[in-house]
């Protein structure tokens, strides 16, 4: 299952809740304000790095770049463009959009 998260981890607990519900074969795609969850040196970095050991995590680059965060993304998080977003949605049998 592909999980998308579109809220900042310092605004809502969406990312935290999503990461707690990940199962084998799951992946996370951070979009919109969700990309703040992809950053180094923040209060939620450790949690995300821990999840990265078991699950692929992606972030939508246009959203990262819009917010000026292009040099702050955690190593290991894969950056995708809009066509990569579509590929991920096609690759996983289901998508859960965490709001």
Partner 1 sequence: MTEATGGIEMDENTGGKIKKFLYVNRKAPYGTIYALESLEVVLISAAFDQDVSLAFLDDGVYQIMKGQHTKAIDVKNFSPTYRALEGYDIEKLYVEKESMEARGLKEEDFIVPVKVLSTAEMADLMQSQDVVLSF
Summarize as ranges the residues that interact with partner 1 (CB under 8 A).
6-8, 10-11, 32-33, 36, 39-43, 45, 61-63, 65-72, 81
Give 1 or 49: the residue with its C-beta nearer to partner 1: 49
DSSP helix/strand/coil, 98: strand
Give 32 or 92: the residue with its C-beta nearer to partner 1: 32
Nearest-approach distance from CB 23 to partner 1, in angstroms: 27
């Amino acid at each position: 299952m592909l999980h998308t998260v579109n809220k900042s981890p310092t605004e809502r607990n969406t990312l935290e809740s999503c990461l707690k519900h990940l199962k084998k074969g799951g992946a996370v795609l951070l979009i919109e304000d969700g990309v703040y969850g992809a950053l180094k040196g923040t209060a939620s970095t450790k949690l995300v790095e821990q999840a990265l050991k078991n699950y692929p995590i992606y972030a939508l680059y246009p959203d990262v770049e819009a917010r000026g965060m292009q040099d702050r993304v955690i190593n290991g998080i894969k950056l995708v463009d809009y066509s990569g977003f579509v590929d991920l949605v096609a690759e996983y049998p289901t998508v859960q959009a965490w709001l």
